A and B are shown apart, each in its own frame.
Chain A
Amino acid sequence: MKQFINERDGEVWFAAVVDHEGSLRPFALRCAGDEVPVGDLQISQTQSADELSIERGGVRERILLTKVGDVWWVHHAGRVSKVRVVERGSSSLSGAGGLTAPMPGKVLTVMATVGESVDEGQPLVVMEAMKMEHRICADVAGTVTVIHFSDGDQVEQGVTLVEIEPAEFSIPDDRV
């Protein structure tokens, strides 16, 4: 699971966004463990890779962003934020891992199946990297929609291993 650290005050954020007709919508946003209300908000890509469009209450705003190392520099409404991305548990055997490979390595066991309902924190994949085992756990409760690898596959750092459709979020009918 990815965590976001606001460099200004060191607050730790959890943010999950999901596809909705090509845009992204937040379905979970927590700061220091507390739920942060976001209301009706939608983020879209633009023609430019360093620009996003955010829409809320029918108003569109422009965001410019770029990643330098692990830090996202975000410009919104004349203000610049630096948000550091951290893979939680990426370097430890115990605890949850992200749904992406924390480092290059080998998939040892896939513990989930497509269509399975999983709970938050349930182990989905066990990986071996740097001679250590890493368990990749569900970051939300939901349904497993895609498993990208099988036992024994070599994976690159950062690739997505498993995808989950969160339980609280209904899938629109017109979705391709």
Chain B
Amino acid sequence: MATLDWMTEAPFKFSKVLIANRGEIACRIIRACREMSLASVAIYSDADNDPLHVEMADESIHLSGDDLASTYLSGSAIINACRAVGADAIHPGYGFLSERADFAELVEASGIIWIGPPAKAIDSMGDKVRARRLMTEAGVPLVPGAELVDSGDLSEVMAQLHARAAEVGFPLLLKASAGGGGKGMRAVDGAGELDSAYLSAQREAQSSFGDGTVYLERRLISPRHIEIQVLCDTHGNAVHLLERECSIQRRHQKVVEEAPSPHISDLLRNEMGAAALAAAQSVHYVGAGTVEFLVVGGEFFFLEMNTRLQVEHPVTEMVTGVDLVQEQFRIGCGLPLTLNQEEITPRGHAIEVRIYAEDAANNFLPATGPLSLWRPPVGPGIRLDSGVREGDEASIDFDPMLAKLVVHGSDRVRAIERMRGALTDFVILGTTTNVEFLHDVVSHPAFAEGDTTTDFIEQHWPSGWSAQAEDSVAVLAAASGEKWGLYLDEAGESSGDLVDPYNPFMTLSRNFP
């Protein structure tokens, strides 16, 4: 097979990429493949029903099995799929196997190119306690905290716990070393709660991650969550692509992200960028990665490093003009970075919101149903990364995130206006989504102020969010729909299609039930 022009100089050539993922991120990676003339292979399982990513990919391969463990989470099934279709590279996307060091190792050992960081880097950053030690050595500031030494004697460990807690100070967090997603994590306000919180965090960590190691960390009050995107090549070059502000979260999941952060100075940005690069280089990182920090006032503290492409990567792409997935492919075949740090400056402002199939008025419970109408907004500065299209079903089998809506404006005020308009125009009917909630978040005066902290939602909707609409118009619309019969009959044909408003017979008092 002829080598692609852009890959001529590359030491590790590939031509066909298997995307070990689904949904919007699979679609986004397939688009990058297409633009770079790489062949793309999608995988799918029985739980997928004619999914968009399969339609978009050049080829697709079915993984048999009725659970995630035997399909999207099965390293061996995915390697076998690569062999079956002749794919010579794997892009893991985010989630699933993207941060499994053992999978990265298996891919590399199979002679397939891994579009991700080396297994060792994933491993080092995946263990929170080890990562903290590495960061201390690299001079990266850490949230004040402490480790516990497991002597095997519970009463001795409890004594240690109390001594360390007194040093760290309250309120504090107990965190699972192997943790993530809030599992094995407990907030502790005073010494009286320590024992029970420790025991339950440890139990949860053991059962979730097979590792009961728990450490202590000071709990910062109303911190901002700001992260730095980095790119590192195989030649030792590294750049950071500025920051993303991801403070607005619900249940430890990000909901709104933006770049640049409305509240950090150039000085702080440079310091955080340098710290992020130091963190990445301390584990000999290669590829795209994100170093997360908590920021309080003018101080920042290392939180963790995500050794993969992030969900919110598009806001960085919008303000830097860099296509991160294409950069991942260039790095993957061993090409050196062509970006210079000095050239990377923010242009305008970008905001991303995550469209979830969930009921924001009912504690954000996941919602299911048909996407009977799916009409995304269009216009200047609007980008939609979607994994679904009209007629698809929102099911409980996978993550409830349907799409990411991203806007770009010349400044933050214009970006907010654009996002409000885009969310107003976004029509999703048949499944409950958080679109209206997102609209109210970005329309909130505190959001306009840039006053975004991780407790934004609890602070501004302490007793929950509720929807508003002009009920009389909705009822009249339904009554009109009934009168005109604007719905599908059993044969799947809309009787409304038969109704031509310019047909003079329409003015006869005919009723279509």
Q: Which residues of A contact B (CB under 8 A)?
A: 2, 4, 6, 8, 11, 13, 15-17, 19, 21-22, 24, 26, 29, 31, 36, 38, 41, 43-47, 49-50, 52, 54, 63-68, 72-81, 83, 85, 100, 145-146, 158-160, 163, 165, 175-176
Contacts and interface: CB of A to CB of B under 8 A. Distances in A.
A16 B429 contact: no
17 contacts: A2-B479, A4-B475, A13-B475, A24-B479, A49-B494, A49-B499, A65-B429, A66-B372, A66-B430, A68-B429, A75-B427, A78-B439, A80-B436, A83-B474, A100-B511, A163-B511, A175-B507
B430 A73 contact: yes
A65 B486 contact: yes
A81 B94 CA distance: 34
Interface in B466-487: 467-484, 486-487
B425 interface: yes
A49 B497 contact: yes
A24 B474 contact: no
B425 A65 contact: no
Contacts of B221: none
Interface residues of B, number: 51
A2 B370 contact: no
B369 interface: yes
B473 A76 contact: yes
Q: Is the interface of A mostly helix, strand, loop or mixed?
A: strand
B1 to A, nearest CB: 46
Interface string B200-244: 000000000000000000000000000000000000000000000
Contacts of B432: 80
Interface string B474-513: 1111111111101110000010110101001111110101
B162 interface: no
B436 A65 contact: no
B471 A11 contact: yes
B362 to A, nearest CB: 11
B478 A36 contact: no
A160 B511 contact: yes
Nearest to A47: B501
Contacts of A52: 477, 480-481, 486
Contact of B480 (A43, A64, A163, A175): A43
B470 A79 contact: yes
B424 interface: yes
A50 B509 contact: no
Contact of A176 (B373, B504, B513): B504
A114 to B, nearest CB: 12
Nearest to B472: A36
A17 B480 contact: yes
Given A64-B375, A79-B436, A80-B469, A74 B478 contact: yes
Q: Can you list the 6 inter-chain pairs with the closest CB atoms, starting with the nearest?
A: A78-B424, A49-B496, A81-B474, A67-B487, A79-B469, A73-B429
A29 B375 CA distance: 30
B57 interface: no
A41 B369 contact: no
A117 B430 CA distance: 41
A54 to B, nearest CB: 7
Interface in B135-187: none
A15 B469 contact: no
B249 to A, nearest CB: 23
Contacts, number: 166
A15 B501 contact: no
Contact of B425 (A26, A78, A175): A78
Given A64-B375, A80-B436, 4 more contacts: A65-B478, A74-B473, A79-B436, A83-B477
A72 B472 contact: no
Contact of A83 (B369, B478, B484, B513): B478
Contacts of A29: 472, 475-476
Contacts of B428: 80
Contacts of B497: 49
Given A4-B479, A8-B467, A8-B469, A19 B509 contact: yes
A64 B504 CA distance: 24
Contacts of B335: none
A15 B475 contact: yes
Contacts of A16: 479
B469 A81 contact: yes
Contact of B429 (A36, A54, A75, A176): A75
Interface string B369-382: 11011010000000
Contacts of A76: 469-470, 473-474, 477
A90 B27 CA distance: 48
B357 interface: no
A40 B478 CA distance: 18
A26 B483 CA distance: 12
A50 B507 contact: no
A63 B479 CA distance: 13
B471 A31 contact: yes
A6 B474 contact: yes
B423 interface: yes
A43 B477 CA distance: 8
A148 B173 CA distance: 73
A43 B507 contact: no
Contacts of B511: 100, 160, 163
